[in-house]
Structures are given as C-alpha cells and as structure tokens.
C-alpha cells in the first residue's frame, strides 16, 4: 500500500476516533489538529510520514506550547525520534501502532461471554457504537467503534485491572465487530498500545505503521 493510501487510513482513523470522543478535527495543510475537549484544552497534532523539515517545524511549535502534543505515524520512526531528541523534545510514547484488519470473514454472531458472571450491553450514539461488559454491578470492560465510509474505527478498548487475563479483550472486540458488521464495512482500523498489539495480532490485525508521541 502506498503512502497516500496510508495517509487516507490515518485520516479515516482520526475521523472515527474523533466521532466517538466528540472532537472536531481540523486540517491546515501541514497537519491534522484535534482539540481534546475532555483533556483541559490540550491540542493533539497528527503527522503522517512527514518530510524531516516539516517534522522539525511542527516539533519546534510543540516545544513552545505545553498544551500541545505531536503524534507521528511513520515507518522511519527512529530517524524522526533522533530529530526530536536533538531538538530537546520528550518522546513520551514510542510503542503505539496503527493497525488494520479485513472485515470479510469476521464473525457476525454475538460471541459467548467467557464466564456466566459477565453480561453485555450496547448503545449507539450517531455513528458510534459502544459496548460495556458488566460483572454484577461492576464495569469489567468497555469499548467503542464508529463507522467512517467502509471502515470501522475501534477506540478505547479497555479491560479493568481486576478482570484482566480472562478473555474479555477478545470477547469485547468480537462483540463490537458483530455489531458493526450490520453496516457495510470492509476494513477495521485502530491505534494499538504496546499491550494491546499482541491481542489484535492474535485476532488477525496487521501492522500498518509505527506511532510515537512527543511533547515539549
């Protein structure tokens, strides 16, 4: 897949991620910026495979603004991290991954919970579908997925500390997928943490590009 197509994937991910979080992405020709309205007014700027000069320019602006975060999606991560560190920027996360999956062949049936104590609830807000797994009155896991064109964009896939290593991550992903396949989606997208990547690879997801985050 070419760089232009991968940039389209990032823009699709940003649109879906923003839809479920109530954000409004803005593109200015240099980057896509998102005001994080639930995080005290911080702004996150996204770059895909930037030329070195463009990266330096945005990094210098990030360095001067404590409310600003720069997230870079790239397949030449170390080169750009070296540039960031030379400018005195803090690399706060270098282990994320933009991932995709072919939705054809995914299971359309609701999965069985991994234990009798778990119950599943769903709600929908516009293009965003949310799934919550309860164990009695406690929230055990939750996640969301939004539809952007032919893509399903997954976000905030979280298993609470007391319920980890019990199969809830796989269950949650399959429940979200079964729900979103009611729409005519052909591919899935998500931004994975280092911890989540192994789960998604197990479920058939593929790495598209590395992701790192810098702050001033």
- What does the pLDDT look like over 68-107, one tens digit per residue? 999 999 999 999 999 999 998 989 899 999 999 999 877 7
pTM for this entry: 0.92
Reported as a single tens digit per residue, the pLDDT across 156-206 is: 999 999 999 999 999 999 999 999 988 889 999 999 998 899 999 999 999
Contacts 24+ apart (CB under 8 A), 131-139: 131/172, 131/175, 131/176, 131/179, 133/168, 133/171, 133/172, 133/175, 135/163, 138/162
């Amino acid at each position: 897949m070419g760089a232009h197509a991968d940039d389209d994937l990032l823009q699709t991910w940003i649109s879906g991620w923003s839809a479920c979080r109530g954000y409004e992405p803005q593109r200015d020709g240099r980057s896509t910026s998102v005001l994080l309205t639930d995080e005290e007014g911080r702004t996150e700027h996204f770059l895909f495979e930037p030329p070195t000069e463009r990266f330096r320019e945005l990094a210098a602006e990030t360095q001067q603004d404590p409310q600003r975060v720069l997230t870079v999606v790239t397949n030449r991560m170390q080169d750009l991290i070296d540039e960031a560190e030379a400018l005195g920027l803090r690399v706060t996360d270098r282990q994320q991954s933009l991932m995709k999956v072919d939705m054809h062949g995914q299971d359309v049936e609701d999965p069985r919970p991994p234990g009798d104590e778990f119950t599943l609830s769903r709600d929908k807000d516009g293009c965003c579908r949310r799934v919550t797994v309860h164990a009695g009155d406690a929230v055990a896991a939750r996640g969301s997925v939004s539809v952007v064109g032919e893509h399903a964009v997954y976000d905030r896939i979280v298993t609470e500390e007391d319920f980890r290593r019990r199969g809830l991550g796989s269950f949650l992903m399959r429940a979200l997928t079964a729900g979103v396949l009611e729409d005519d989606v052909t591919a899935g997208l998500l931004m994975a943490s280092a911890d989540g990547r192994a789960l998604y690879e197990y479920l058939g997801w593929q790495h598209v590009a590395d992701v790192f985050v810098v702050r001033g």
